[in-house]
Amino acid sequence: MSAIKSTFYNIFFVFVLTITISAQNSLKISEADELLQKNKIEEAEKLYKEVLAEEPSNNSVIMKLAGLYHSIKNYNDAIEYYSQLVQGGNPFVLYNLACSYSMNGNKEEALNSIQHAVAKGFSQINLLKTDTDLENIRNEEGFSKILKSVKVLENFPEANKFDFWVGEWNVYNTQEQKVGESKIEKILKDAVILENWFGGTGYVGKSFNHFNMDKNKWIQYWTDQNSTGTYFEGNFDESQNALVYYSYDHVKDENPYIRRLTFFNLGADKVRQFSQRSNDNGNTWFTEYDFLYVRKQ
């Protein structure tokens, strides 16, 4: 047999063997999972370790073993296996590692792992507040600091500054003529404020408003029955008690302009919506419309 053919058959044999082992290990993993559900811990552990002996880099099995050891309070082994996975930067691995550290009494390591989990995007703040595995570190000063660093809306005071617009409204122009109605509601677990506009002339539209935590800004996207759209960004201005949006959608047009849309909080039952436009890069502004929202009784 030629050297080329010999090499080919060797490669083919290794390939077939690898596929066969992989298939066998998949069956073992499934069997181990079933055993674990039946609380047959030692039998499940044995099968997982058999797979890991043949596939040392099988992260799924490493994770299963780590979870198994944590469940039987063998925290040292749980820490050993979770630690093999932390280089990937998975926030849930880091979180689980923190839980094992906490239950093992390693407070400093637990806080460090939680901090890294949050830095990598872990944002389940309710779990951080209630998981019994973290009881050992929850009263530590460092833990409260970590909670404040989690990227969730409750850690951004401005995220609730537009709530004054929520409700059902009759809308009037400056001549006290009714120009439409609007229903403003919170959706998506209160993370988004949805505007439903019904104009007196039959014109309808919607806007989606939310606080973008990455930009630290409010975002509005307006669209209507004609499929036109406008994108705004802005912030709450304490001095005006108003949310102020700007749109730069048209700054590159042949006749460029900027839009400013301001929502003034006038108390519990009134909101002023003031739309302006500037054709000279914000040096001067003229009014597009000026509406008063009066809450329906």
What pLDDT, on the 0 to 100 scale, is given for residue 247? 97
Beta bridge partners of 167: 184
224 CB-near residues (< 8 Å, 6+ apart): 203, 204, 205, 206
Beta bridge partners of 208: 194, 221
What pLDDT, on the 0 to 100 scale, is given for residue 253? 83
Both tokens of 263, joined, read 């929502």
Going from the C-alpha of 48 to that of each of 29, 105, 188, 200, the distances in angstroms are 6, 27, 40, 68
Both tokens of 222, joined, read 């307006």
What pLDDT, on the 0 to 100 scale, is given for residue 30? 93
What pLDDT, on the 0 to 100 scale, is given for residue 20? 53
Q: What is the C-alpha separation between 135 and 103, in angstroms, rounded?
A: 8
* pTM, to two decimals: 0.72
What pLDDT, on the 0 to 100 scale, is given for residue 3? 53
Among the listed residues 164, 168, 165, 128, the one whose alpha carbon sits nearest the alpha carbon of residue 145:
128
Beta bridge partners of 209: 193, 220
What pLDDT, on the 0 to 100 scale, is given for residue 132? 97
Ramachandran class of 218: left when φ > 0, alpha when ψ lies in -120 to 50, beta otherwise: beta
Domains of the chain: residue spans and CATH: 3-152 (1.25.40.10), 158-295 (2.40.128.20)
Q: What is the C-alpha separation between 212 and 269, in angstroms, rounded?
A: 27
What pLDDT, on the 0 to 100 scale, is given for residue 5? 43
What pLDDT, on the 0 to 100 scale, is given for residue 265? 99
Residues of the chain with pLDDT under 70: 1-21
What pLDDT, on the 0 to 100 scale, is given for residue 24? 82
Q: What is the C-alpha separation between 181 and 169, in angstroms, rounded?
A: 6
What does the chain come to in residues? 297
